């Protein structure tokens, strides 16, 4: 495992980003995780309550000695690996992710201001039951144990809002019946990269789930 290229880039990255972008210098930070199987750099902003909003995760493959990021196809919801060849490509990718995040954050604040009178509570009818979704993928099996349990995921687009929708179906099989638990989550395009970065950044910490316990 060779981390020379990783160490050289991390040594230059913060100063390079600060020098080309005044806004990043004011609000952007990065956290280096050198001990992971694929070392990574998490980029985030931090608000007054010390809550971090991650906008990009840069991974390093120590065996091939290359940096890469994950990108999502907004049409099909598929995650791809984008290899960054040199320091300029790395800086450009992080810089672009930062401004995409900041622009989307501003747009979200403006949207909230325009709809300040709209409030949803637990007493309202379930919002997703009224959602008209065009499912872009079939149910994809994430976990299966014959005659015991099955967990599937499905990705779609809400027709009225254009948001992405993830549906998780958890089926438990008994001798006499099948118990189904359904969870649905919607998210805007501006949120997708943050979701990917958060999950990818903490994959090493996630433990396998025993669905039968």
| Residue tagged 């890469």 (tokens) | 68
What is the three-class DSSP state of 165? strand
**Burial of 105 from C-beta contacts in 10 A (0-12 / 13-18 / 19+):** middle
Confidence at residue 111, expressed as pLDDT on a 0 to 100 scale = 43
Distances (CA, A) of 89 to 31, 86, 143: 19, 5, 37
One pLDDT digit (tens) per residue for the chain, 213 residues: 678 889 888 888 888 888 888 888 888 888 888 877 788 888 888 766 666 777 888 888 888 888 988 776 655 556 677 899 889 999 998 888 888 877 765 444 444 444 444 443 443 334 444 567 888 888 888 888 877 888 888 888 888 888 888 988 888 877 777 788 888 888 888 788 888 888 887 777 777 666 555
User: Within 10 A of 95 (CB to CB), how many other CB atoms are there?
Assistant: 19
Confidence at residue 75, expressed as pLDDT on a 0 to 100 scale = 59
Longest dimension (CA), the chain: 66
| The domain defined by 127-188 carries CATH number 1.10.3470 | no
Confidence at residue 45, expressed as pLDDT on a 0 to 100 scale = 82
DSSP 14-71: HHHHHHH-HHHHHHEEEEEETTSSS-EEEEEEE-TT--EEEEEEEEEETTTTEEEEEE
Instruction: Say if pTM beats, i.e. exceeds, 0.95.
Output: no
Alpha carbons within 13 A on the beta-carbon side of 200: 27
Confidence at residue 49, expressed as pLDDT on a 0 to 100 scale = 60
Confidence at residue 122, expressed as pLDDT on a 0 to 100 scale = 41
| Residue tagged 């985030």 (tokens) | 44
């Amino acid at each position: 495992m060779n981390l020379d290229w990783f160490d050289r880039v991390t040594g230059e990255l913060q100063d390079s980003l600060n020098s080309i972008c005044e806004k990043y210098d004011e609000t952007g930070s990065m956290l280096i995780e050198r001990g992971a199987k694929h070392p990574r750099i998490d980029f985030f902003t931090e608000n007054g309550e010390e809550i971090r909003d991650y906008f990009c995760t840069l991974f390093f493959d120590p065996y091939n000695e290359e940096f890469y990021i994950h990108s999502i196809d907004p049409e099909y919801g598929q995650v791809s690996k984008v290899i960054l060849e040199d320091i300029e490509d790395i800086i450009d990718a992080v810089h672009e992710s930062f401004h995409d995040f900041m622009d989307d954050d501003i747009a979200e604040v403006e949207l909230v201001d325009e709809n300040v009178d709209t409030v949803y509570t637990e007493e309202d009818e379930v919002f997703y039951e009224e959602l008209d979704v065009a499912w872009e993928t079939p149910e994809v099996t994430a976990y299966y144990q014959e005659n015991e349990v099955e967990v599937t995921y499905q990705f779609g687009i809400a027709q009225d809002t254009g948001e992405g929708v993830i549906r998780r179906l958890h089926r438990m099989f008994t001798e006499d019946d099948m118990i189904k638990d359904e969870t649905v989550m919607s998210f805007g395009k501006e949120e997708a990269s943050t979701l990917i970065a958060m999950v990818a950044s903490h994959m090493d910490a996630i433990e396998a789930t025993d669905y039968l316990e």
